[in-house]
Structure 1
Amino acid sequence: MEKPTQKKEKLDTREGSGLYAPQRRMFLRYAGATALATTLLLTTSCDDDDDGMTDPEAVDLGSGDTGILNYAYALEQLEAAFYTEVVARSLSVFSQTEQQIMQDLKGHESIHRDFLKAALGSAAIPDLEVNFSSINFNDKSSILTTARTFEDLGVAAYNGAGQYLENAGFLTLAGKIVSVEARHAAVIRDLITNGTFSDSANNQGLDPAMMPADVLQAASPFIVTKISANNLPK
């Protein structure tokens, strides 16, 4: 099967589009936050943990706060690429309401991706090559099951990595993003089975947290590019 390529696509910002108003407002909020994050990134010192063994063919996420932001950026690239494919290839399998949800998710993840790339500047990792050949984009169940996997993974990734962020500004921004990811996870669960929106929470009412190595391992079937997280904070 031919591997779908990740394309840079523009959001539909026509005033008649359902995405126009909310996505434009969100973009403006993130644009201001990007300026803050870029300033903070320039003042973040490099870690001394750059002595881990790294595959020379792998993309190294880096260390310190930069490494954590690149880690988040990698996951947002994956999610944005997935929903771009869904919107391009699969809208016919969804109802009108569900189509709007898919378009909104694509818009949110694209904004998260672009925001992190701008915040990282020259420190950003390159565009990742993805592989969605295991997903049947003509089958709603296959799409939603994959979406649930990605959204749950995103929430767990932010929850697990947040403790390593040293800059309070970055932690605040990560918290804002993960709250949106959690809403995505909830709506996807409800599309699969109505009323299961909070099923990912444990007995304490908390979502799970995963360490970067475990998250990247879980995401690896969908990412062709080799990624090294050896220098992330531990």
Structure 2
Amino acid sequence: MPKSVMHATRAGQPLQPVGRRRFLQVASVATASTALLISGCNKDDDTPSAATVDLGSGDVGVLNYAYALEQLEAAFYAQIIATPYTGISAEEQAYFTSIAKHEAIHRDFFKAAITAAAPGNIIGSLTPDFSSVTFTDRSSVLSTAKTFEDLGVAAYNGAGKLLKNTDYLLLAGKIVSVEARHAAVIRDLINNGDFAADDVVDASTGLDKAMSVDEVLMAAQAFIKEKITATNVGK
């Protein structure tokens, strides 16, 4: 496994190589900084520069893609914690608190990793649009959570092949396994035993669903006010 890899950014500048030691340092810093904040309810403080956000190219484009999705999930779960739905149980509250922490750590990791690898090429904070979600209603919250978690798993499964840096690929594998655990919990809260239903796991192959970048963004765009473009992601 190479200790560092260099790729092109959307601005045409080289993606700075990230060695394994530096990679792990970034992960540690991101995790530690998130732990010092409240339980996943903090907001990223970058400001988007325009109504249209391009994710970039090469590995940095893939990382920005993941960062965009993690921003969306972190904001969603932070809102659940801030305004729990009517009748939420202590067990459900605990589940959502844990998931919110995980998603905030994922978001902060990608922010730190992209900043370290490609300064100036990180996307800013996206503006979530949760107008279609009724946060006081359990059904509305759980159905949206199911959408986000299933989408997240399929997104990582589909994007893995686009990564060139094997350190990033290893990280993506670790994160997608956590996202799948989240998806399983949410699905069981909706319908016990639905954690690995045929709509997400192919019964003939035993493999989880994978989606392309375009397919994922088409589904996610309804929950993000900025227009996301991803023409060169992974290229």
Q: Which has the larger helix fraction? A: 1
Residues 86-125 of structure 1 aligned to structure 2 (within 5 Å) = 86-90=80-84, 92-121=86-115, 122=119, 123-125=121-123
What is the SS of the residue equivalent to 2:179?
A: helix
Q: Corresponding residue for 1:201?
A: 201
Map 1:20-169 → 2, pairs under 5 A: 40=4, 43-46=5-8, 57-90=51-84, 92-121=86-115, 122=119, 123-169=121-167
Separation (CA, whole Å) in 2 of partners of 1:61 and 1:188: 29
- Rate the CA distance shift 1:164–1:133 in 2: closer, same or farther, 3 A: same
TM-score of the aligned structures, taking structure 1 as reference length:
0.77
- Do 2:51 and 2:226's aligned partners in 1 also have CA atoms closer than 8 Å? no
Measured in 1, the distance between the counterparts of 2:141 and 2:215 equals: 23
Moved segments of 4+, more than 3 Å = 47-50
CA RMSD, 1 decimal: 1.8
Q: Which runs of 5 or more structure 2 residues have no equivalent in the other structure?
A: 13-49
- Does the C-alpha gap of structure 1 residues 222 and 57 become closer, same or farther in structure 2, counting only changes over 3 Å? closer
Secondary structure (helix, strand or coil) at the match of 1:59 reads strand
Closer/same/farther in 2, CA of residues 208 and 49 from structure 1, 3 Å limit = farther
Residues 67, 231 of structure 1: 8 Å contact kept: yes
Query: Aligned AA for 1:216?
Result: L
Q: Out of 130-139 and 91-100, give the one that drifted further.
A: 91-100
Deviation at 1:208, TM superposition (A): 0.5
TM-score after normalising by structure 2: 0.76
> How high is the sequence identity, in percent, across the aligned residues?
56
Q: Between Structure 1 and Structure 2, how many residues are aligned?
A: 189
Is the contact between residue 153 and residue 176 of structure 2 (CA under 8 Å) also seen in structure 1? yes
User: Take 1:93 and 1:221, find their aligned partners in 2: how far apart are those partners?
Assistant: 27
Match of 1:3 in 2: none
CA deviation map 1:78-114 (0-9, x unaligned): 0000000111011553110110001011000000000
**Contact 2:67/2:107 (CA < 8 Å) preserved in 1?**
yes
Partners of 1:47 and 1:138 lie apart in 2 by 42
Amino acid at match of 1:85: Q
The 3 A distance-change label for structure 1 pair 130 and 57 is: closer
